[in-house]
């Protein structure tokens, strides 16, 4: 049995609270599968609980806006990649947080940490931050369904960059930084990639973080969302499932 739903030749992937033998998907998933994907009885669907377990199902009934499913196999636990990977990026107007969250989710990032900065746009003010985070979580669910992840990334509440001072496993993008091969393994099992407001951090800001590792992505200036996506892609190549170890 393949351990990633991505390698299952399924027609669609969705999330449900439980993975019982019989599952009914309604709401946004049910609408998507019945109306947009136009699933038919007998088709294969993989369903995940968002917490790392997925299961293959067969469509039994299609109604308007809902599909009923019956299990076609056992539950499978998707391996975690190690070390875990968190990406923290500043929520400025130009940072395209939706795009970043979509791509980071496809790439398998475990945790997304929105950072407040002096240049943050007003909707990230404290009173509206809840709605904004809820929106990013919806983007993550859609991207996880599209990329057939079994585990949803966590999307934290916004916090200031200074909160990350001394955080273990910090990595900042830096054109003068190190090859990924020289970025040390994180001491507590999680890399925290930090992306500044314009895709880089000032020397002062880096010093304020403590002594983070510095990852070289390329010699040019990167937009914030590009630095986040590229940095995550590069670090992900140095992650592995436990079964793959030792590398």
Query: E strand or H helix at 214, and its extent?
Result: strand 213-215
| Residue 149 binding a second copy, by CB under 8 A | yes
Under the binding rule (CB under 8 A), the answer on residue 142 touching a second copy is no
Count CA atoms closer than 13 A to 158's CA, side-chain side: 27
For a second copy, which residue of 55, 103, 167, 214 counts as binding (CB under 8 A)? 103
**Residue 178 Cβ vs a second copy, minimum distance, rounded to whole Å:** 10
**CA 145/CA 5 separation, integer angstroms:** 10
Among residues 220, 243, 245, 246, the one that binds a second copy under rule CB under 8 A = 220
Stretch that binds a second copy, among 40-48, 68-76, 111-119, 226-234 (CB under 8 A): 226-234
Pull the structure tokens for residue 47: 């369903």
Q: Does 222 bind a second copy (CB under 8 A)?
A: yes
Distance CA 7, CA 10 (A): 8
6 binds a second copy (CB under 8 A): yes
Peptide bond into 176 cis (omega under 30): no
DSSP 77-121: EPPPPBSEEEEEEE-BGGG-HHHHHHHHHHTT-SEEEEEE-TTB-
Q: What are phi and psi of 198, to 5 degrees?
A: -110, 25
Instruction: Kindly write out the interface string for residues 18-57 of this chain, putting x where it contacts a second copy by CB under 8 A and - elsewhere.
Output: ----------------------------------------
Q: Which of 26, 49, 68, 106 binds a second copy (CB under 8 A)?
A: 106
| Ranges within 178-207 binding a second copy (CB under 8 A) | 179-180
- State the Cα–Cα distance between residues 4 and 194, nearest whole angstrom: 28
Interface positions with a second copy (CB under 8 A) = 4, 6-7, 81, 99, 103, 106-108, 146-149, 175-176, 179-180, 216-223, 226, 229-234, 236-237, 241
């Amino acid at each position: 049995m393949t351990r990633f739903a991505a390698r299952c030749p399924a027609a669609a992937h969705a999330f449900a609270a439980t993975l019982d033998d019989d599952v009914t998907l309604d709401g946004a998933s049910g609408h998507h599968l019945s109306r947009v994907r136009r699933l038919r009885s007998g088709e294969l669907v993989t369903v995940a609980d968002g917490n790392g377990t997925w299961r293959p199902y067969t469509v039994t009934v299609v109604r308007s806006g809902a599909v009923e499913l019956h299990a076609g196999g056992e539950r499978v636990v998707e391996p975690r990649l190690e070390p875990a990977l968190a990406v923290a990026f500043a929520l400025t107007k130009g940072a395209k947080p939706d795009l970043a969250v979509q791509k980071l989710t496809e790439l398998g990032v475990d945790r997304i940490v929105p950072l407040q900065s002096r240049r943050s746009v007003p909707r990230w003010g404290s009173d509206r931050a809840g709605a904004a985070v809820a929106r990013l979580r919806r983007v993550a669910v859609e991207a996880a369904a599209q990329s057939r992840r079994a585990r949803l990334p966590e999307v934290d509440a916004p916090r200031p960059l200074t909160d990350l001072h001394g955080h273990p496993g910090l990595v900042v993008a830096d054109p003068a930084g190190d090859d990924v091969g020289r970025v040390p393994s994180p001491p507590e099992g999680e890399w925290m990639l930090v992306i500044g407001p314009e895709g880089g951090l000032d020397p002062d800001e880096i010093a304020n973080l403590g002594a983070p590792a510095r990852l070289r992505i390329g010699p040019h200036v990167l937009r914030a969302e590009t630095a986040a996506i590229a940095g995550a892609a590069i670090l992900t190549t140095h992650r592995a499932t436990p079964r793959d170890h030792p590398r």
